[in-house]
Structure 1
Amino acid sequence: MLELDPPLDPARGLTERQDGDRGQQPSYRPLLATLVMLTTSTSVISSLGGSLVPMVAVEHDVSLGSAQWILTGPMLMGAVATPILGRLGGTGRRRTVILASLVVVAGGLVLTALPTGFLGLVVGRLLQGVGIGLLPLALAAARDNLPRARVRGALALLSVTTTMGAGISYPLSAWIAQTAGIPAAYCCALAIIVLTLLLAWRTVPDASTTGNDTVHWVGAALLSGGTLLLLLALTQAPVLGWRAPSLWALVIAGAVSLVLWVWRTLRHPDPLVDLRLARHRQVLPANISALTSGIAVYMLIALVMIQVQLPTSTGFGLGQPVTVAGLVLAPYAVLSVVGSRLSTALGAWIGLDLVLPVGATLYGLATALFALSHESVWVVAVVMGVAGIGSGFTFAAMPGLVLRSTPLEETGSAMSFNVLLRFLGFAAGSTLATSVLALLAASRPDYAEAFRLTVWVNVALWLGTAVLSLVLIPSRPKETS
């Protein structure tokens, strides 16, 4: 059994394992640039099409709920793929796993670019979600190969690309799809992923660690099945109603599957995720925050896309085209990076344990401003800019909180579970916004009131995340490096 206490400082592990070899290593910049390209491109592709849901529904003659799976599906696949790739890539075959996963993503893009119908589109999007699972491997590669002084900033930057990607993909995909069609958007993404594959082939080294790469496939099936059932229940709730027996059958089946996954995982000698490590008092707050903030991020993005595009006759819509709705997210993408870069200085000033609650509070305040004032595109853009800084703080803090108490050889497992929870949150948030809005609108004559209440639910998620992280994260002395 893994001994969790006393915690191992990642910086000390880096000093012991790597500092002696820094002088012989080539420049770290090509590797860091490749890892940023890797995490950003796969994040962009995973959320590619979020702004295209209405267009897909019309083009393929399916409901909005069904079309939503071109966004929810990749997030679900990413959540399931993350621990599997983390296990397979946790050994010396990290480079091979990264390259093979990029090939799978490229295959999914080919499938979506071809006229394969709605089923082919969904299957292709699921394959693209495999790329999400590469984030923990990129974090592990950065931790293993970058100079000690650069590791913290690199981890923060790589971590925030998961939310920054949404800010890039929404306006980009909307513009390309409106000017050249939906297949063109996926062709452009294919070119980006091929470039990423070439860069990874040139610069990503094999891992020096060794270990067991056996995959617990029963656990993976229980996790994916349980999550899928719960997401289906969330998607169908507005259609079936909360009292429908079929809805609760989905909820119960999903919950039972996840309970069985936990039970099997705790008893398996080589589980996909070491839940004993994940529930460590130093790591648990970051994992809880990954889930709740993941839900809140995509919930707000979905609400912004709805509000900006709905007609002004609704009382709160701005009646703008999808390209404008996508561009509103541009400040979010840019300022997420700014927030991630500022998070290191903020951590040195107030302590790493306070960066995450500060970020969640800032995001919550931005969402509250959206609830109170959303009468113009400029106001919504300001809201998303402030939210971007909060996102940068929140997600940049998570790797440091997880890894400061994680043995070096457990980096992949620890970060895989954190990313798994994050993308489960993304998948849930992408459907929660429309489900809550539909349920509230069904019981109120004023659609604008239902929209505002849905936004306040999002505010509550952020403030709850801030309070929980503030209470649960153990305090440590401020970082001085």
Structure 2
Amino acid sequence: MSGQPSTGPEHSGARLLVPSLMFIALVVAAVGSLGTPLITSVATTFHVSLDSAQWTLTIALLSGAVATPVLGRLGAGPHRRATILATLAIVVAGSALTVLPLPFAWLLVGRAAQGVGLGLTALMMGVARDHLPEERSAPTIALISVVSIIGAGVGYPLAALLAEFGGLRVAYSLGLLVTAVAFLTAWRSVPKAPEGRSAHLDLPGALLLAGALFLILFLASETSLWSHHLVLAVVLALVAVLLLCVWTATELRSKTPLVDVRAVRHPAVAGANIAMFVGGIGMYLLLTLITRYAQTPHSAGYGFGLTTFVAGLVLVPFSVLGFVAGKLTPRVRKRIDGPLLLAGSAVVVGAGFVLFSAARSNLAELFAAMGVLGFGVGSFSAAMPGVILAVTPKSETSSAMSFNYVVRSVGYSLGSATGGLVLAAGTATGHLFPNDGAYTTAALVGIVAMAITTITSLTLARLRSRETNPTDAPRQDRPSR
């Protein structure tokens, strides 16, 4: 860097770079989750079914998953700042569509545009790694990862409160306000990418991956398809697998791949993504179980019949303890290797499942389980980037983390679907709500998922130990001459 002071937005935002990156990551996560507490309000306001209203959440997750790898590749090039600003402009425009008195189809278009912002988290990490010294970039990246998770806990109760007292449009106005502020924040503080970068978008690869992800997330969200149209669901699943195989073959042959598949095959990266996938299933499963249990009316024989707003407050300990864990993890990582932190975090989430399965007779126990989940998810999310970026070049930060976030999105979607399927199986004919034992069964599924995550992380830690200490590996006797 030259000693000459820079000018323009890069200079004016230099001092606020870290809080700006955190704020942008928090905003896109919170806005992406706005659909969750507003589904009932959407159904009543637009006179559509709950299944149709559910698409205000599903379509945001779909567009986010599809946009993430594309933005990751664009963010690895020289036009990262322009990519960030253009994406936030799309999110602001989408937020405006959710507020304007337009038909339901336009609301879905707006939510899809908002979901595109979910792909910005990895770009925020790339900016931090390029423009901050090592001692600041690592903890900043860890916290960006955490706030991208706890954003739901921030946006959920606020949106629910606004919807309860001001109506649906007022609740969506919150998204328009914060996304506009995020755009102005990025304009003033996000610097240009370092010189010498290049990134070419692999359009065929992007289309293949988009098609595969769309089918996977569609099948995960439309759980009724598996029970009523099993053959069609299986065919679509096979098509998704075929598209992924073709995409992988295309990426391996491409000189400018959308995702560097060869780098993804590195044991550290592959192991981390497997842990993220299986762990994501378990983490989102428990989040789904607790919030659904809290809102179940007393007439079901269990539950607390909480309103949407009060149920949103159950997420407060999740967000608070998740942030605390995110702050502590970078310090702990100086003494404990990243994969071991992933394993420990998976054990903590598993403990949350055990607590929920054994004790959920009062709200305090639900708050405790949600707090344990938040701490585990926070530490897991904070440790994950370090494991992947330890073997990733700086120029590939956005692309590598984008792929990890796609894996996370798929895992979360499957976690939500798993919860829905298990609870549906535990619902007797003619009843609206599952029996209480179905929640215990779902919790056991989650415990298995976190056990697999723990084993995967410990295996990864063992491989890392052998790489850094080759003398510890078993030695083979040399053949005698």
Q: How high is the TM-score relative to the length of structure 1?
A: 0.90
Residue matched to 1:87: 73
Match of 1:318 among 292, 304, 308: 304
Q: Counterparts of 2:171 and 2:243 in 1: how far apart (Å)?
A: 36
Amino acid at match of 1:57: A
Alpha-carbon distance in structure 1 between the residues aligned to 2:408 and 2:160? 25
Which residue is 2:459 aligned to?
471
The structure 1 residue matched to 2:367, chosen from 356, 361, 381, is 381
Structure-1 residue corresponding to 2:235: 249
How far the C-alpha of 1:22 sits from its partner, in A, is 12
User: How far apart are 1:61 and its partner, in Å?
Assistant: 3.8
Q: 1:321 corresponds to which letter in structure 2?
A: T
1:258 aligned residue: 244
Q: Does the 8 A contact of 1:361 with 1:463 survive in 2?
A: yes
Distance 1:87 1:262 in 2: 16
**Equivalent in 334, 359, 376 of residue 390 of structure 1:** 376
What is residue 348 of structure 1 aligned with on the other side?
334
Partners of 1:113 and 1:415 in 2: how far apart?
32
Code of the residue aligned with 1:454 in structure 2: it is A
Select between 122-131 and 435-444 the one with higher mean Cα deviation: 435-444
Does 2:104 match 1:115? no
Q: Distance in 2 between matches of 1:103 and 1:363?
A: 36
Give the equivalent residue in structure 1 for 2:478.
Answer: none
Report the Cα distance in structure 2 between the residues aligned to 1:21 and 1:151, rounded to whole angstroms. Answer: 21
Partner of 2:427: 441
Matches within 5 A, 1:157-168: 157-168=143-154
Compute the displacement of 1:49 (Å). 2.0
**What pairs with 1:5-44 in structure 2 (closer than 5 Å)?**
29-44=15-30
Look up the match of 2:134: 148
Hey, what does 2:358 align to over in structure 1? 372
* Alpha-carbon separation, structure 1, partners of 2:39 and 2:440: 22
**Equivalent of 2:262 in 246, 261, 276:** 276
Separation (CA, whole Å) in 1 of partners of 2:360 and 2:235: 39
Shift of 1:300: 2.2
Change (3 A) 1:124 1:357: same
| Deviations, residues 336-382 of structure 1 (Å, cap 9, x unaligned) | 11001111222223222211111111011112211221122221111
User: Matches of residues 206-245 of structure 1 in structure 2 within 5 Å?
Assistant: 206-241=192-227, 244-245=230-231
Asked whether 1:197 is paired with 2:183, we answer yes
% identical aligned pairs:
37
The one-letter amino acid paired with 2:104 is: F
Contact 2:220–2:413 (8 Å) recurs in 1: no
Instruction: Answer yes or no: is the 8 Å Cα contact 1:51–1:305 preserved in 2.
Output: no
CA contact (8 A) 2:58 2:221 kept: no
Q: Distance in 2 between matches of 1:142 and 1:444?
A: 54
Alignment partner of 1:267 is 2:256: no
What are the Cα deviations for residues 410-442 of structure 1, in whole angstroms up to 9, with x where unaligned? 222211211221122233333332233213435
User: Could you tell me how far 1:140 is from its partner in structure 2?
Assistant: 0.7
Paired with 2:242 and 2:181, the residues of 1 have a C-alpha distance of 42
* Structure 2: 5+ residue stretches without partners: 470-481
Match of 1:65 in 2: 51
Contact 1:332 1:386 in 2 (8 A): yes
Whether 2:452 is the aligned partner of 1:460: answer no
SS at match of 2:165: helix
CA distance in 2: counterparts of 1:354 and 1:31, whole angstroms: 30
Distance in 2 (CA, whole Å) between partners of 1:108 and 1:468 is 39
- Write the distance in 1 (CA, Å) between the matches of 2:147 and 2:44: 31
How far apart are residue 451 of structure 1 and its match? 2.3
Match of 2:473 in 1: none
SS of aligned partner of 1:348? coil
Going from structure 1 to structure 2, the CA distance change for 1:52 and 1:208 (only over 3 Å counts) comes to same
8 Å CA contact 1:68–1:431 kept in 2: the answer is no
Q: CA RMSD in A?
A: 2.4
Structure 2 CA distance for partners of 1:233 and 1:196, relative to 1, 3 Å: closer
CA distance in 2, matches of 1:457, 1:125: 31
Cα 1:436–1:54 shift into 2, 3 Å: farther
| C-alpha distance in structure 2 between counterparts of 1:435 and 1:234, whole Å | 10
Provide TM-score, normalisation by structure 2: 0.90
In 2 relative to 1, CA 113–406 (structure 1 residues): closer, same or farther, beyond 3 Å? same
User: Given residue 425 of structure 2, which amino acid in structure 1 is its aligned partner?
Assistant: L
- Assess if the C-alpha contact under 8 Å between 1:76 and 1:427 holds in 2: no
Q: Which region of structure 1 is more displaced relative to structure 2, 223-232 or 362-371? A: 223-232
Show the counterpart of 2:474: none
What are the ranges of 5 or more consecutive residues in structure 1 without an aligned counterpart? Answer: 1-17
CA contact (8 A) 2:92 2:114 kept: yes
- CA distance in 2 between counterparts of 1:116 and 1:389 reads 40
Q: Is the Cα–Cα contact under 8 Å of residues 84 and 120 in structure 2 kept in the other structure? A: yes
Per-residue deviation, 1:151: 1.3
CA distance in 2, matches of 1:105, 1:94: 17
